[in-house]
């Protein structure tokens, strides 16, 4: 699976070198920018990695004209992908450490976990981000994925700072009962900080990170409860999307043949 558009290329990692380039980007974003904790080895190599990396596929956004040595291999965007069949054969889902995913095991179609998604600060909001989404769409189509899920984060660990956004997600975008995964009991944080009547949608939208806002706009839902990840300095919510419930325009986008122009789908 590969998409070429001008200076950009989207493809799956093909080597250990590709994965290391993705880990270098993750270090810049999650550790240096967002304040995640990192061990001595990670700091020395400036790479963010974990024991799940060898089991995931890594979808890369590459700027083929990039000459910045810090952007190793021109990798400026990444998604980490784990299909359900691979999870069952290997290490399991990363998100199982934060959410009880038992309900997803009963889903009749293939499930795909998304994680460690990030884009270099110089490339956010531009054509590259949409190409990365197009690549994800191609993967979804080629592998007949029925359900997408994964944790997405607010920067910080104080839920009250995001009371409008978290309450909005709980009251207006809670997943259907059959898909409503729940944060593990020992770390469960109630998202309904405000009552439904107290939610100010405009204020909530201002607090929502772009990635979460994007998924909500195209029909995504959230699980029950948030998870505070102090190692990563984040508040995590579990996003879920049944591809059969996507808005018609997005389904057309995801099933489109590769090549040609890439439409803007994140507003």
Q: pLDDT tens digits for 96-118?
A: 999 999 999 878 889 999 999 89
The yes-or-no verdict on residue 246 having pLDDT over 90 is: no
> In this model, does residue 265 exceed pLDDT 80?
no
Give the C-alpha distances (Å, rounded to integers) separating 263 from 85, 128, 131, 158, 215: 31, 12, 9, 36, 16
What does DSSP assign to residue 90?
A: T
Number of structural domains (the chain) is: 1
Does residue 87 fall inside a structural domain? yes
The verdict on residue 60 lying in a domain is no
The residue that leads in pLDDT, 250 or 107, is 107
pLDDT of 255 > 80? The answer is no
pLDDT-based confidence at residue 261 (cuts at 50, 70, 90) = very low
SS3 47: coil
**Residue 57 counted as domain residue:** no
**Residue 245 within any structural domain of the chain:** yes
For residue 66, is it within any domain? no
Comparing 174 with 260, the larger pLDDT belongs to 174
Q: Can you give the residue range of the structural domain that contains 174?
A: 78-255
Asked whether residue 130 is assigned to any structural domain, the reply reads yes
Provide the pLDDT for residue 89: 85
- Determine the Cα angle at 149 with ends 143 and 154, to 5°: 140
Give residue 137's pLDDT. Answer: 86
* pLDDT tens per residue, range 161-220: 999 999 999 999 999 999 999 999 999 999 999 999 999 999 999 999 988 998 898 889
Query: What pLDDT is stored for residue 253 in this prediction?
Result: 52
**pLDDT tens track for 9-54:** 999 999 999 999 999 999 999 999 988 889 999 999 999 999 999 9
pLDDT band at 258 (very low <50, low <70, confident <90, very high): very low
0.95 surpassed by pTM: no
Domain-embedded: residue 132: yes
Residue 104 forms part of a structural domain: yes
CA dist 198 and 184 (Å) reads: 27
With CA atoms as reference, report the closest residue to 6 among 65, 53, 54: 65
């Amino acid at each position: 699976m590969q998409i070429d558009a001008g200076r950009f290329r989207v493809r799956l990692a093909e080597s250990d070198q590709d994965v290391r380039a993705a880990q270098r980007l993750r270090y810049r974003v999650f550790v240096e920018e967002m304040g995640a904790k990192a061990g001595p080895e990670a700091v020395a190599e400036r790479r963010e990695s974990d024991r799940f990396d060898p089991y995931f596929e890594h979808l890369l956004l590459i700027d083929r004209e990039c000459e910045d040595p810090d952007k190793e291999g021109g990798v400026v965007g990444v998604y980490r992908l784990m299909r359900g069949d691979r999870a069952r054969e290997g290490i399991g889902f990363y998100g199982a450490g934060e959410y009880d995913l038992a309900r997803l095991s009963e889903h009749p179609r293939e499930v795909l976990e998304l994680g460690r998604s990030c884009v270099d600060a110089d490339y956010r909001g531009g054509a590259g981000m949409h190409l990365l989404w197009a690549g994800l769409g191609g993967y979804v189509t080629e592998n007949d994925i029925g359900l997408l899920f994964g944790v997405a984060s607010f920067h910080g660990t104080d839920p009250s700072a995001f009371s409008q956004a978290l309450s909005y997600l709980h009251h207006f975008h809670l997943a259907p009962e059959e898909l409503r995964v729940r944060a593990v009991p020992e770390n469960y944080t109630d998202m309904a900080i405000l009552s439904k009547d107290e939610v100010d949608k405009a204020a909530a939208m201002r607090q929502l990170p772009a990635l979460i806002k994007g998924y909500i706009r195209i029909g995504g839902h959230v699980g029950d409860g948030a998870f505070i990840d102090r190692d990563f300095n984040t508040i995590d919510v579990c996003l879920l999307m049944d591809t059969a419930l996507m808005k018609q325009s997005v389904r057309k986008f995801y099933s489109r043949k590769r090549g040609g122009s890439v439409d803007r789908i994140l507003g």
